[in-house]
Amino acid sequence: MAGAEFGFELRVCAWAERHWEPADPDSRVLVARQLGTRRRRWDTVIVEADPAGLSARAAFGADELDADLLDVVRHAPADWTYYRDALPDPGYPWRYVREAIHRASARGVLDERKRANRIEIRRVAPYPDWVRRVVAVENKPDLDASAARALAAQLERDVALGLADEVWVATRADATRALVTEMPNAAGVLTVGAGDDAADDATDEGRDPEAGERDALAVDVAWHPRTLDPDATGVRVTDRGDPTAFEYVDPAEKRETRARLAERAYGRGWRAYADTMRPDCRAFDLRAAEEGDVPYCHAKGREQTAAECSGSCPDFSPEPPGWRQRGWPIEGGPGKTVKRLLDRRRRRRRPGLDERDGDA
Ligand code: SF4
C-alpha cells in the first residue's frame, strides 16, 4: 500500500469512528480496517451494532471468535449436554469439532467437562445477535483513470453480491470529482479533504493524544449509496471473461460471512497496525492527525507505511534497554506503551470488556 493510502485509511477509520451516522441512531459503531473474506478484502469496515447485543458480546472476551469457535459458542446449550447432541452435524469429522471445543474452553468462552467418557458442553452466555448493519468502504485517495475503472468494476461486484448493507468509496476531494462519476450508482462516495500531511512535528509523547482540540477532517457525502439487501440471494462473479461466469450465493452463506466479518472487526478494530509495525523502534511515534493519531517516523521525517516499518527497515533502531527499565522486559518501554494505548482505545468502543477482563 502506498504511504499516502495508509495514512488516508487511518484518517478515514478515525473519522468513521467519531462521526459515522448509523441507520439506527442508537446503534454503536465499530470500525476495522483490512478485513475481508478469502476472495475480497475491504479497506475499512464499519459495523453498526445493537447496543445491548454489543455489551453482551463482551462475555466472550476481547479477541475475535474464528469460524470454528463461533459455530460452537452459538449452539452451546444452557445446560450440560453431550456435544454431539448439542451441536449441528458439522458435515466434516467430529474430531475437528472437539478441537474447537477444547480451544473454546481454554479461551473461557465455553464450559467443557467429561462425564462417562463423553464430552459435555455448556455455554458461558448466550451468543447475542449484535450486528445490525455492515458497511464496506474502499479508500482510494488518488484515483487516476485506470484505478477508477478497476475500482468501479470491483464495486459493481460488491453490489451484486450484496454482502454489506452499503458500499462506499472514500477519495480525496481535489481533482477526482470527474472520476467519481464512473463509480456504480449503488456505491456511495465520500470526499475527504486533503489532510495536513505536512503539519508540524509536534508529537503525542507523554500526553493523552485524545485530549485537546483537533481540526476535524472535512468529509462530505458526494453520492449516497443504495441500500443493499444482505438477506437476498447474491451474485458472485467468478470470471469476468466473455461470457462472464457467476454463481449464486444464498442468504445463509452471506449471513455466516457477515457474522465472521463482524467478529474480526470486534477483535481487530483499526488500530492493530501496531502489532505488525515496530513501535519498539526509537524513531516510532504517534502524531496527532485530524481525527486520531497516525504513526510517525522521526528517522524518515514523515509518516511511514505499515510495510516499511519492520525489523528490516534500514533505519530501525531498537529502543534502548534503559527506556524499558520500569517493568522491562514485559511491560516497559515506549513500544509496549503504544500498544497498550491503542488497545485501550479499541476497548472503549467495546462496552463490557473491562468488567470481564479487568485490565483496561
Ligand atoms: S525507522 Fe523504520 S522501523 Fe523505525 S519507526 Fe521508522 S519506519 Fe519504523
- Model confidence pLDDT, tens digit, residues 267-309: 999 998 988 899 999 999 998 887 778 999 999 999 999 999 9
pTM, rounded to two decimals: 0.88
> Where residue 330 falls among pLDDT bands split at 50, 70, 90?
low
The answer to whether 161 and 249 are in contact (CB under 8 A) is yes
- Verify whether ligand 1 is closer than 6 Å to residue 304 (CB atom): yes
In the reported structure, the alpha carbon of residue 303 is separated from the centroid of ligand 1 by a whole-number distance in angstroms of 10
Specify the ligand 1 atom closest to the Cα of 298.
6
Instruction: For helices 67-75 and 94-107, give the axis angle rounded to 10 degrees.
Output: 80
The preferred substitution site among 205, 315, 317 for testing ligand 1, maximizing ligand atoms within 8 Å of CB, is 315
On the question of a cis peptide bond just before residue 243, with omega within 30 degrees of 0, the verdict is: yes
- Verify whether ligand 1 is closer than 6 Å to residue 281 (CB atom): yes
- Verify whether ligand 1 is closer than 6 Å to residue 190 (CB atom): no
> Where residue 177 falls among pLDDT bands split at 50, 70, 90?
low
In the reported structure, the alpha carbon of residue 272 is separated from the centroid of ligand 1 by a whole-number distance in angstroms of 17
Distance between CA 270 and CA 266 in Å, rounded?
A: 10
**28-42, 113-127, 165-179: which has the minimum mean pLDDT?**
165-179
- Verify whether ligand 1 is closer than 6 Å to residue 283 (CB atom): yes
Q: How far is CA 294 from CA 90, 196, 287, in A?
A: 43, 12, 5
Residues 6+ apart with CB under 8 A from 123: 73, 76, 77, 78, 110, 111
In the reported structure, the alpha carbon of residue 298 is separated from the centroid of ligand 1 by a whole-number distance in angstroms of 8
**174-178, 260-264, 299-303: which has the minimum mean pLDDT?**
174-178
